[in-house]
Amino acid sequence: MMTELMEIITYPAPVLKAPAESVKKVTNELQTLIDRMAATMYAAPGIGLAANQVGVAKRVMTYDLCPGTEDQELSVLINPEIVSGAGEFVYEEACLSVLDYSADVTRMQRICVRGLDRNGTPVEIEAEDLLAVCLQHEIDHLNGILFIDHISSLKRALYKKRLRKILKTQPSN
Ligand code: NI
């Protein structure tokens, strides 16, 4: 049976601005959510997806830096938290929830993240460079923060103006 894809919610939808809630218990329902999120992420395609991007305000994220390659391997984090970080790293980010835009964002170059894997087992991840960017970007999502919240207010205003035009020319659904 094909896993049913989920609709990716895009800015400026309010669910993207609200902090997601901690997962209390790893249930079968949560496994289904994770499978659907993974399928949605790979189909997009994207390297990371937070549950609130598909309208579920829970602290769950999927990621894979090598989608569609022979190195493809799904990773899942539940209730992820950055416990330490250092350095600076600039990367041109984009987001499945931010239509038609990318911009340089400065983040920590290396971080340590703690959370649970999909079985509820505690994990600790030492990440640097692109993986560190991906984890910071997705954990931001779970806190109601988008990468465009990290750019200058002028750049953001210009993007909002352009987005309004894009949305006007799209059929509403
Ligand atoms: Ni994103």
Tens of pLDDT along 131-172? 999 999 999 999 999 999 999 999 999 999 999 998 888 776
* Domains in the chain, CATH or no CATH each: 14-168 (3.90.45.10)
Query: Phi and psi (nearest 5°) for 52?
Result: -70, -15
Q: Is 21 a catalytic residue?
A: no
**Which entry of 29, 70, 126, 138 is annotated as an active-site residue?**
138
CA–CA gap between residue 103 and residue 87 (Å, rounded): 19
Strand order in the sheet with 48-50: 48-50, 60-63, 75-86, 110-116, 122-128
What is the residue-averaged pLDDT of the chain? 96
Mean pLDDT of 61-75: 95
Tokens at residue 8, please?
Answer: 């990716």
Tens of pLDDT along 99-125? 999 999 999 999 999 999 999 999 999
Q: How far is the CA of 155 from the centre of ligand 1 (A)?
A: 18
Q: How far is the CA of 96 from the centre of ligand 1 (A)?
A: 6
Judge contact between 108 and 85, C-beta under 8 A: yes
